[in-house]
Chain A
Amino acid sequence: MSVFITAFRAFGSQVNIWLDTATPAADGAPVLRQVPGWLADIEAALSRFRPDSELSRLNRRPREWADASETMLSSLDAALRAARITGGRVTPLVLRALVAAGYDRSFEEVARAGEAGDHATPVPASRWEAIQLDRAAGRVWLPDAIDLGGTAKGWAAQQIAQRLAAHGPALVDLGGDIVAQGKPWTVHVFDPFQPETPFAVVALHDRAIATSGTDYRRWGADRHHIIDPHTGAPARTDVVSATVIHPDAVLAEALAKAVVLQGSIAGLDWLAQHERAAGLVFDRIGRVLATENFQAYLTQTQTHTQKGA
């Protein structure tokens, strides 16, 4: 078997893809060279940072039926599924709140400028149930402007993984939202407090893993990109990062955000009610908590030392 790796940036994130082909002569390299183009097509449709994207076009004219591509319909359908399963905690209707919080351009530009846009008064998100999809007619009805950042990376990673499945086992890492399929893959879960070394190593086979947190996409004293839809403001939470494992990459990503929104104990306790989900949280005082079933994915025992020893 031969393993091929490609690495590049897309969706404002680092993308790494491993493809394990049966023989050295297999088509691993030619296939992987196509992946940036696949992701570019998805980003052209779904990015809110591109004025010519399909999403931006839809956002300019809400509250009327509009034609939508299969990419848009499929990703929006996934976003609505995530909204339903998270009880509305992860909803596409947070764009106005994100802009009000200062996340009005790509985070790369926010980081480069050293500050975000002007802050406006937070506005609670509209009800996600008001979004309508007519897949037969290929059109959508949006009550307000939307952002698919809560589920788009997981959805895109799943699309790429499905395309690669015909060529061999693959691991698709889209900014830390990972789909591991076809064989067991090991993934490191990093400690946001000790970013040089992994805290845990997990073994995944036909599973997705996603991490959401307030430790990277943040600006100012208390502003970050995870919006509480009830207040329209960045969530007030004790969670620094939450990692969720689930068979579905969209739900892994959405559930991780939902855990962040609810806080460490309440979030993990809520997550434990979802039978196929397992989660791990780093909180602000340095604790690491997990659902009981997360331990089944750990491949190695962690060692602990007394601080200062």
Chain B
Amino acid sequence: MKMTSTKRFAVRTALVTSTTLATVIGAQALASIDEAARAQPIPAPTIAPADPVLQPTTATGQPVSAAVPNVVILRHAGEVSAPAINVEPQAPARPSASVVSGSAAPILPPNPVQIAPPAPVVQQVAAQPAPVTRSSR
């Protein structure tokens, strides 16, 4: 089809008009989306409260924090725990290992244990000293 000047003018006009209309319509759509977003309430956080049975706090008095959803931090690096309440400290069987500060100081193994222990003794006790769990000795 041969493009006359009239037809070329019509095409150009249509293109400009359609582009303008698209721009206007697009802008209106975006504006309506923004309006809808501003109208929606911000969802509340879903962090579960700490277990009411135990509410440990850190040295700064902050509540125990979560490392990941299933894991809680009972003591942060750099804090030093006092002994658990109302517990008599166990008498050491050997000199203590080096105390580790907040940095990763080496932990020295204890002195060698006795190789030939005395024969087992069975005692009847009135008080019950508490058993201990730690890496096997």
* Residues of A that sit less than 8 Å from B by CB: 2-9, 12-14, 16, 18, 24, 28-29, 32-33, 35-36, 108, 111-112, 153, 171, 173, 175-178, 185-201, 209-219, 240-241, 243, 265, 268-269, 272-273, 280, 284-292, 295-296, 298, 300-307, 309
Contacts and interface: CB of A to CB of B under 8 A. Distances in A.
Interface string B121-137: 11111101111111111
B81 A307 contact: no
Interface of B: 51, 53-60, 67-68, 70-87, 89-90, 92, 96-97, 99-104, 107, 109-115, 117, 119-126, 128-137
Nearest to B79: A304
B131 A16 contact: yes
22 contacts: A9-B114, A14-B137, A190-B90, A191-B81, A192-B107, A193-B107, A196-B96, A199-B83, A200-B84, A240-B107, A241-B134, A265-B67, A268-B67, A286-B100, A289-B73, A291-B70, A292-B72, A300-B87, A301-B54, A304-B57, A306-B59, A309-B59
B63 to A, nearest CB: 12
A290 B119 CA distance: 39
Given A195-B134, A296-B51, 9 more contacts: A108-B115, A111-B109, A198-B90, A211-B136, A300-B86, A300-B87, A302-B56, A305-B79, A306-B79
B100 A201 contact: no
B135 A287 contact: no
B59 A304 contact: yes
Contacts of B131: 16, 18, 171, 173, 178, 185, 187-188
A77 to B, nearest CB: 22
A216 B53 contact: no
B59 A175 contact: no
A9 B97 CA distance: 21
A214 B104 CA distance: 13
B85 A301 contact: yes
A3 B124 contact: yes
A295 B53 contact: yes
B67 A215 contact: no
B76 A198 contact: no
B91 to A, nearest CB: 9
Given A188-B133, A189-B134, A286-B77, A307 B56 contact: no
A8 B124 CA distance: 15
Contacts of A196: 89-90, 92, 96
A309 B80 CA distance: 9
Nearest to A200: B84
B103 A285 contact: yes
A230 to B, nearest CB: 22
A13 B92 contact: no
A216 B137 contact: yes
Closest 8 interchain pairs by CB? A175-B136, A272-B70, A213-B135, A8-B120, A288-B75, A197-B83, A285-B77, A111-B112
B120 A301 contact: no
Contacts of B114: 9
Given A188-B90, A272-B71, A307-B78, A211 B124 contact: no
The winner among A29, A177, A290 for most chain B CB atoms within 10 A is A290
Contacts of A285: 77, 102-104
A213 B113 CA distance: 18
A133 B60 CA distance: 55
A28 B124 CA distance: 9
Contacts of A217: 109, 135-136
